[in-house]
Amino acid sequence: MSTFVDDDTRVVVQGITGGEGNFHAGQMIEYGTNVVAGAVPGKGGQEAAGVPVYDTVSEAVDAENADASVIFVPPAFAADAIFEALDTDLDLAVAITEGIPTQDMATVNKRLSEVDTGLIGPNCPGIITPGEAKLGILPGNIFSEGNVGLVSRSGTLTYQVVDNLTERGLGQSTAIGIGGDPIIGTSFIDALGAFEADADTDAVVMCGEIGGEDEEQAARFIGEQMDTPVAGFIAGRTAPPGKRMGHAGAIVSGSGTGTARSKIDALNDAGVPVGDTPEEVADHVEGFL
């Protein structure tokens, strides 16, 4: 079993005629993802990356029976692209775009509460079920099939941890990069709940970072709702208060919450061992399995 996407997922790429969209659509197809269409206003009737292009997501969904989208649209237009995806019968939209204004995402977040379509991102690498499908920009060659779920706010950290897991022979069921912006769709808790419900995920890795209280909330969820063992990693331990580090959401206010220490303590209190390095994370997962 996989979480969110598998080899039956039929994908439409929004922004497929742009440089990034076209390149990564080709990479997804090469990996084996079932990319069935692109959607770009005014480009309907063309072909890109070997698939037909439609003017709207709705047309692509109706014509090609698509059930997921990946969004490669510039920041100024990305919120509209997300809204277009949410106004269809898609199960999932994955927004790769970085730099979407927070005010735009606040409006998107309100709409999310009114629809059944899920959103991963924005400002994320996407999602992959190894050997079946990848939606986004993840380097498929470092992933391997297995029973370890992974959810992370950081794309680069995802790659580091996965590389260590794969080297140990610890394959992954699904890996999800949820993004590091202040307002995102799928949360740690959403992903953790999906992994808990997946009979073929026997352990989970959660990679967080400074800023916000998402990891503390996830720790409470783990302690109260999960039987599947979880190992953690928290980035940004040496970041100074008040300075944003990398992601837009990675900033510590100095109030005592959102720090690496507060997150590590919360996870430890929930029974989650937190590695000091990606290698130590793999050590903890080996100990679970």
Q: Are residues 104 and 164 in the same domain?
A: no
- CA dist 219 and 225 (Å) reads 10
- Same-domain check for residues 99 and 155: no
pLDDT of the residue at 246:
52
The DSSP letter of residue 241 is T
Count structural domains, the chain.
2
pLDDT in tens, 88-115: 999 999 999 999 999 999 999 999 999 9
219 and 84 in a single domain? The answer is no
19 shares its domain with 95: yes
284 is catalytic: no
Residue 4 lies in a domain: no
Dump pLDDT digits (tens) for 37-69.
999 999 999 999 999 999 999 999 999 999 999
Is the pLDDT reported for residue 252 higher than 60?
no
Residues 6 or more apart whose CB falls under 8 angstroms from that of 118 comprise 4, 91, 92, 93, 185, 186, 190
95, part of any domain? yes
Which range of residues forms the domain containing residue 36?
10-120
Q: How far apart are CA 50 and CA 30, in angstroms?
A: 11
Residue tagged active-site, from 247, 267, 272, 275:
247
* CB 221, CB 189: distance < 8 Å: yes
In a domain, 234, yes or no: yes
Does residue 187 share a domain with residue 78? no
pLDDT in tens, 21-41: 999 999 999 999 999 999 999
Q: Is 56 in the same domain as 102?
A: yes
- Does 127 map to a domain? no
pLDDT score of 154:
87
> 249 and 208 in one domain?
yes
